[in-house]
């Protein structure tokens, strides 16, 4: 889902004009005794709060450094066996070397050295599994056709784009986006915004960028036992939740193969599709065998009595009178749409129902600018066509940009939603911006397939942000995250329930 710049402006105006019930946040970390204060000032109990840069509370220390000999694990034979599987004329064949990798890890003494020796081997296997997949066995240094893309996020004002540069994928993990180039350059000592090309020219710097990304976004979760599946979500979350099963399966296959080479079991929690684990992603919806967990009971909550006329209209009332979607999104259309999803807002306790409804409308408010937009601003110039999604081939005459309450994007989402809801999403995506009932149904389809189970199992509002627009998380777009959290806490207050824990991402 894409965030519209103008919708963010409406958000800022709204937030400046109204006093909200604030999420639990404080410069002095005034959290409950059993909760941690994250680096962004929010209270929670997961690694996002108690891990790196935790500011207060029962902060967890990283797993002890075991002094494993990484060079002894990443042998010449292991490294070269990856290279030798690429084509002889591949540009990366002579660029990526074991020597460059070993020089790069000197900057990251915790990489591959946390926990037990078996844990070290698993982490190294995981890292090289992703590198193998992303570079095609060390074939590619730069993203294919990357020079035609600029990956410039203009909302990342801390790292403004140089209009003469492009921030497409480069290096072992294909580092992309201006904010990543800016942040990694600042961290390891090069001008990422004005000289992003160095990542494709200096092999040591190239490996350092991959290790920087890993240690900042992946290492902690993997070292704390969340499994290989969590690394896929961190490296390329767009592949998860069934969007690119072949790609996920390929990453898992590399990981299992490398673990086998290192003589260690791969562990649990490998993926959400056909692999073993213990979380709701394995034991919940679609569980094939084992101690499958039944979903929480349907509580028969009256969603219409929670989403009152007053509540619904108060959202749209905050938008400008000239908004293109004014009058399109109606409470009546929403109530008709939820008939297709009887479990929405009716799972768990009545308080749980109210929290789920508050979360849903928090994102809808943010994505549409208080029901101002039904189509992505500038969307007509974008195709959002993933040609690798062969099950849902793009119609070259159509555009799959953001539409509806959740700004549905990409051909595979239009294809799947249409197949479920009974419309031709690939050949008639425009209907999402023309029929308000279908429009709401697409948002509910996305919610029930990607968010409902995790939210109702207690993962908190932060997990919903990651599912809808994970690109905002990990400090990339803190203002957008704060805006979503403010809407959520405000709506929870209106419904008379606490917002719960784990609010941010």
Catalytic residues: 367
**Alpha-carbon span 384 to 176, nearest angstrom:** 17
The torsion region of residue 496 among left (phi > 0), alpha (psi -120 to 50) and beta comes to: left
* Cβ atoms within 10 Å of 280's Cβ, excluding its own: 18
User: Which two three-digit tokens encode residue 149?
Assistant: 């893309």
**Alpha-carbon span 104 to 204, nearest angstrom:** 6
Q: Going by C-beta distance under 8 Å and a sequence separation of 6 or more, which residues neighbour residue 309?
A: 331
Cβ atoms of residues 474 and 216 within 8 Å: yes
Cβ atoms of residues 193 and 181 within 8 Å: yes
Dihedral angle sign, alpha carbons of residues 207, 208, 213, 215? positive
Cβ atoms of residues 473 and 352 within 8 Å: no
* Cβ atoms within 10 Å of 242's Cβ, excluding its own: 14
Nearest to 463 by CA among 278, 295, 230: 230
Rg (CA), the chain: 23
**Alpha-carbon span 132 to 124, nearest angstrom:** 12
CA 114 to chain centre: 25
* Alpha helices, DSSP H, located in 452-477: 452-456, 461-469
**Alpha-carbon span 221 to 276, nearest angstrom:** 18
Cβ atoms of residues 35 and 44 within 8 Å: yes
User: Which two three-digit tokens encode residue 236?
Assistant: 């390329």
**Alpha-carbon span 189 to 392, nearest angstrom:** 43
Number of Cα atoms under 13 Å in the Cβ half of residue 352: 20
* Cβ atoms within 10 Å of 409's Cβ, excluding its own: 21
Backbone phi, psi, residue 474, to 5°: 60, 35
Cβ atoms of residues 250 and 133 within 8 Å: yes
Nearest to 205 by CA among 120, 125, 104: 104
**Alpha-carbon span 263 to 241, nearest angstrom:** 30
Please state, in angstroms and as integers, the Cα–Cα distance from residue 349 to each residue in 74, 324, 329, following that order.
51, 37, 28
First to last CA, the chain: 16
């Amino acid at each position: 889902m894409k965030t519209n710049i103008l919708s963010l402006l409406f958000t800022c105006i709204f937030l400046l004009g109204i006093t909200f019930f604030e999420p639990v946040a404080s410069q002095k970390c005034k959290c409950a005794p059993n909760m941690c204060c994250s680096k962004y000032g929010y209270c929670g109990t997961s690694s996002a709060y108690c891990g790196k840069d935790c500011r207060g509370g029962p902060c967890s220390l990283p797993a002890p450094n075991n002094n494993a000999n990484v060079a002894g694990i990443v042998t010449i034979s292991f490294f070269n066996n990856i290279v030798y599987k690429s084509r002889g004329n591949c540009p990366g064949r002579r660029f990526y070397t074991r020597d460059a990798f070993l020089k790069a890890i000197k900057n990251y003494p915790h990489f591959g050295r946390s926990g037990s020796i078996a844990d070290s081997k698993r982490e190294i296997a995981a890292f090289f599994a992703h590198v193998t997949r992303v570079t095609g066995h060390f074939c590619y240094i730069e993203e294919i056709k990357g020079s035609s893309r600029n990956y410039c996020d203009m909302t990342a004002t801390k790292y403004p784009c140089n209009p003469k540069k492009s921030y497409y994928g480069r290096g072992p993990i294909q580092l992309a986006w201006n904010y990543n180039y800016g942040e990694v350059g600042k961290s390891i000592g090069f001008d990422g915004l004005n000289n992003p090309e160095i990542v494709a020219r200096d092999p040591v710097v190239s490996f350092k960028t991959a290790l920087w990304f890993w240690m900042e976004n992946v290492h902690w979760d993997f070292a704390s036992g969340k499994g290989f599946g969590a690394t896929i979500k961190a490296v390329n979350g767009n592949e998860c939740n069934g969007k690119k099963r072949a790609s996920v399966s390929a990453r898992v296959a590399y990981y299992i193969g490398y673990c086998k080479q290192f003589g260690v079991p791969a562990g649990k929690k490998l993926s959400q599709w056909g692999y073993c684990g213990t979380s709701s992603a394995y034991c919940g919806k679609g569980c094939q065998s084992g101690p499958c967990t039944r979903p929480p009971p349907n509580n028969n909550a009256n969603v219409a009595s929670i989403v009152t006329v007053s509540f619904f209209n108060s959202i749209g009332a905050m938008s400008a009178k000239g908004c293109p979607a004014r009058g399109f999104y109606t409470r009546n259309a929403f109530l008709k749409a939820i008939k297709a999803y009887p479990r929405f807002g009716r799972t768990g306790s009545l308080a749980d129902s109210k929290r789920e409804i508050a979360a849903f409308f928090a994102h809808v408010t943010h994505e549409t600018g208080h029901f101002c937009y039904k189509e992505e601003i500038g969307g007509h110039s974008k195709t959002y066509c993933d040609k690798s999604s062969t099950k849902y081939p793009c119609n070259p005459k159509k555009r799959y940009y953001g539409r509806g309450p959740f700004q549905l994007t990409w051909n595979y989402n239009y294809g799947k939603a249409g197949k479920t809801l009974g419309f031709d999403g690939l050949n008639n995506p425009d209907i999402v911006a023309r029929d308000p009932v279908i429009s709401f149904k697409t948002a509910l389809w996305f919610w029930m397939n990607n968010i409902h189970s995790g939210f109702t199992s207690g993962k908190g509002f932060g997990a919903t942000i990651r599912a809808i627009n994970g690109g905002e998380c990990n400090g990339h777009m803190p203002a957008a995250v704060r805006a979503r959290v403010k809407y959520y806490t405000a709506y929870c207050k209106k419904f008379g329930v606490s917002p719960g824990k784990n609010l941010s991402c």
